[in-house]
Chain A
Amino acid sequence: MEGFWSELTSNRVVTEMLPAATLETLQMVGLSALVTLVVGLPLGLLLRSVAPDGLTPNRPVSAVLGVVVNVLRALPFIILAVALIPVTRAIVGTSLGWEAAVVPLSIGTIPFFARLVETAVRDVAAGKVEAARVMGSTTAKVVSQVLVREALPSIVAAFTITVISLIGFSAMVGAIGAGGLGFLAISYGFQRFDPTVLYTSVVVIVVLVTVVQVVGDALARRLDHR
């Protein structure tokens, strides 16, 4: 234990680069999660609304959205990230650094989260929607007060899963120049054969995933009155 600790505190990659890499990972996951929430939640609600048994059925929109979401979800993330490099350059100006990584990360997880939202909202009993409509609710009110509010525990659980998969994806984009813990683990830990760096990075990632899961579960439980 003593030896491990002195190894840890004397490893200059760990002491000098790990804190910055952790911050980069938090920044790229945090911003991507925000973008995913802001775009994916409405997209999920739209997917549900235009479905044949939704509030505002629309067959063409439903078909187009369905194809786009399925194609994006079918691509392995690392391929999507590489394929999106020109798009990233056009939006951010560079394809390197954590800011650039937000583009492929968001585009990769938005369809995933949108599908989860769609499923969560579909589970809200049709009778609740009908009751709200009989009371004279507008469609907007039905969506916000009935669909989203009743599905909120499931949506929170879906977002938790999404953030955790973002942490995993963020390690992958590290390999193609995004920095962060993934970059540290691969370039110093794996390619330069430094097991201390490798395992320390992995431990930090595990801690991040655990914290997200615990916080997400607690929030979902608090919101759930079923």
Chain B
Amino acid sequence: MIELSALRKVYPSADGPVVALDGIDLSVGRGVVHGVVGRSGAGKSTLIRCLTGLEQPTSGTVTVDGTTLTGLSEKRLRTARRAMGMVFQHVNLLDSRTIAANVAFPLEVAGVPRDRRRERVAELLDLVGLGHRAGAYPAQLSGGQKQRVGIARALATEPAVLLCDEPTSALDGETTRQILGLVRDLRDRLGITVVVITHEPSVVREVCDEVTLLEHGRVVQSGPLTEVVTATGSPLSRALVPVPDLPPEARRDLVEVTYATDDVATRDAFAAVAALGEDVEVLSATVEPLAGRRVGRLLIDAPRSGTDAVVARLRAAGLDPVVTGREAVGTEEVA
């Protein structure tokens, strides 16, 4: 549904060119919810702007629903954009229009006749549970309700792809869960392909099937959520399953273990650690729900027996341990 190939974007600046995207290859299948994570400045926003064609890449191609966007004329690009709906962090509703008129806006742009528009708007507002507020203005709605209107508007032209740019970053926890639930529900009912840009690990855990980690404009890791997360020591497992902070006296070398609870029960993982003897201790640990499974991460300190011996014995117990430095382990502090 979405194909990015060797995508590069370079911005000119006073201090020489800035490479925002440095050769991105990415493929997202139909009906998949794909998360893109990374720190600010990693290239997430540039990526989504290239997907909408608001930004032309320096080189490489963007193909959405069979249409290659790169090199299209502005006129053809405008038509191609109707295959995409976009949800923004700050929603960006028009304050001068009622919410029904806001949802109608993309239909007006697409030249849908008035009667059909009215029907479609009613349908869409019902879909997001706001049918009773059609005549309200955005200023009269809560943040979560506004984002629902934003989603209804994004879906108006029946796009094949829904792009979400930090859709819940301005919302509280409970509202975030409702909005993410709505996104998942829409994917299940409409079969729409979704790309979610976010810096929040919880958003990826709750809604994504696949995830890509960007760093300095490059793809560091990408794949199905459960696979990338259960690979011990992988950057995404650390970013998406952060453990509580380590005690300050923790030593430099630790042993890290990541597992899915349907492969290894948490009690078995702890039993394997207990069997290592008295001086081996779990310094930090977590078990997080993730894509319908539960994923555990342990950070183990072995001052006397040494990390190599611990790794060998944990491996023998069916776990997948790696030796890691305490700076790189991905605690809540850095996530």
Contacts and interface: CB of A to CB of B under 8 A. Distances in A.
Contact of A225 (B86, B95, B105): B95
A125 B90 contact: yes
Nearest to A153: B96
A135 B105 contact: yes
A127 interface: yes
A145 interface: yes
Interface string B135-148: 00111000000000
7 closest pairs, A vs B, by CB? A127-B92, A131-B92, A135-B106, A225-B137, A136-B78, A136-B81, A134-B86
Contacts of A137: 78, 109
B100 interface: no
Contact of B94 (A128, A133, A138, A141): A128
Contacts of A125: 90, 92
B92 A135 contact: no
Contacts, number: 59
A146 interface: yes
A172 B10 CA distance: 57
Interface residues of A, number: 21
Interface string B117-149: 000000000000000000001110000000000
A132 interface: yes
Contacts of B109: 132, 135-137, 141
Interface string B41-75: 00000000000101000000000000000000000
Interface of B: 52, 54, 78-79, 81-82, 84, 86, 88, 90, 92-97, 105-106, 108-110, 137-139, 157
A133 B105 CA distance: 11
Contact of B81 (A135, A141, A152, A225): A135
B90 A127 contact: yes
B92 A130 contact: yes
Contacts of A73: none
Contact of B96 (A127, A131, A133, A223): A223
Contacts of A141: 109
Nearest to B157: A135
A184 to B, nearest CB: 42
A177 B236 CA distance: 80
A145 B95 CA distance: 11
B139 A131 contact: no
Interface string A163-185: 00000000000000000000000
B78 A146 contact: no
B52 A134 contact: yes
Given A131-B88, A135-B109, A136-B106, A226 B81 contact: no
Most buried by A among B54, B86, B96, B109: B96
Contacts of B137: 225
A90 B41 CA distance: 60
Given A149-B96, A150-B94, A152-B96, A136 B54 contact: no
B96 A134 contact: no
B86 A131 contact: yes
A141 B106 CA distance: 11
Given A125-B90, A134-B84, A225 B106 contact: no
